[in-house]
Structure 1
Amino acid sequence: MLDNDHRGTVCIEDIEIGMSRSLRKIITDRDIELFAEISTDHNPVHLDDDYANETIFEGRIAHGMLTAGLISAVIGEQLPGHGTVYLGQSLKFLAPVRPGDMVDAIVTVTDMDIGKRRVTMDTHCEIDGKKVLKGEAIVLAPSRKFD
């Protein structure tokens, strides 16, 4: 289920195991160009059609960390949302993301330590239901006690 309408903050006191949020975004040429500029990663597999066509990908692909950034957006904007502090993120890249692909980034709460405000989440991105990236995030969730 895609839950693009939930924005803001879910405090640790309201988070439940199994809770999930997501976003959907089409990856554009402009996204790739801007990410290259910001990150200084100008690998031609991302930017040069002729070069990329000769690689194992047989065409241009988005930066893996651009795709991973969508997970960060879900965590920072939706679950837990504003005030969240990233503690760790594992990533495994399963398939390329290409310009024009519609990516769904999904996070699901799998474990919690309420006393330490730590939330563990399954994180993944998919295109047409096929996972292209998977991992796990550990974050420090905001609390009403610290408002």
Structure 2
Amino acid sequence: MLDRPHDNLPRGTICIEDLEIGLARSVSKTVTDQDIALFAQVSTDHNPVHLDEAYARDTIFAGRVAHGMLTASLISAVIGEQLPGHGSVYLKQDLKFLAPVRPGDRVTASVTVAAIDHSRRRVTLDCLCRVGDTEVLKGEALVLAPSRKFD
């Protein structure tokens, strides 16, 4: 279950007609050992850097880390549930992984509207994940936003 930092932020849909540059939404989640194990099972990525502390201690991370795409999936949660929300279609995602996320870290994923192409219903979103003040992932997404004209 995602821990939402602002329970007053709506889930659902913000249609393209209502989007504005700078509009932002976020979600926070503490990454658990169970999350990592389940993500390994679902993704079939059983790299021991995620699952085996003894192995991971001898890597550049000096300990276990969460899958990068587990962290990135929190961006998907914001896009699919809040901004633009239900009915959004991912078209593109660029990501840069900046720092590891470890079991027990609380990640906040934020998405901000950077550009809107009303004629094509496309929205460019700046994406950022942080653990505390540390940026762990940043990127840009392009999505097809829902529209009241197509309800």
Aligned to 2:117: 113
Distance 1:109 1:130 in 2: 21
Question: Equivalent residues in 2 for 1:63-78 (5 A)?
Answer: 63-78=67-82
Distance 2:129 2:36 in 1: 17
Distance 1:20 1:64 in 2: 22
Aligned to 2:12: 8
Distance 2:139 2:147 in 1: 25
Secondary structure in 2 aligned to 1:8? coil
Aligned to 2:45: 41
Secondary structure in 2 aligned to 1:33? helix
Secondary structure in 2 aligned to 1:108? strand
Distance 2:87 2:135 in 1: 28
Secondary structure in 1 aligned to 2:149? helix
Q: Counterpart of 2:26 in structure 1: which amino acid?
A: S
TM-score (norm 2): 0.95
Of 51, 54, 72, which aligns to 2:58?
Answer: 54
Is the CA contact 1:24–1:102 (under 8 Å) kept in the aligned structure 2?
yes
Is the CA contact 1:6–1:21 (under 8 Å) kept in the aligned structure 2?
no
Q: Does 1:137 align with 2:137?
A: no
Of 78, 84, 88, which aligns to 1:80?
Answer: 84
Secondary structure in 2 aligned to 1:36? helix
Is the CA contact 1:44–1:52 (under 8 Å) kept in the aligned structure 2?
yes
Q: Size of the alignment, in residue pairs?
A: 146
| Percent of residue pairs bearing the same amino acid type | 68
TM-score (norm 1): 0.97
Distance 2:39 2:6 in 1: 25
Secondary structure in 1 aligned to 2:37? helix
> How far does residue 67 in structure 1 lie from its aligned partner after superposition?
0.2
> How far does residue 98 in structure 1 lie from its aligned partner after superposition?
0.2
> How far does residue 3 in structure 1 lie from its aligned partner after superposition?
4.2
> How far does residue 39 in structure 1 lie from its aligned partner after superposition?
0.4
Q: Counterpart of 2:129 in structure 1: which amino acid?
A: C
5+ residue gaps, structure 1, are none
Aligned to 1:28: 32
Distance 2:116 2:43 in 1: 32
Distance 1:16 1:129 in 2: 26
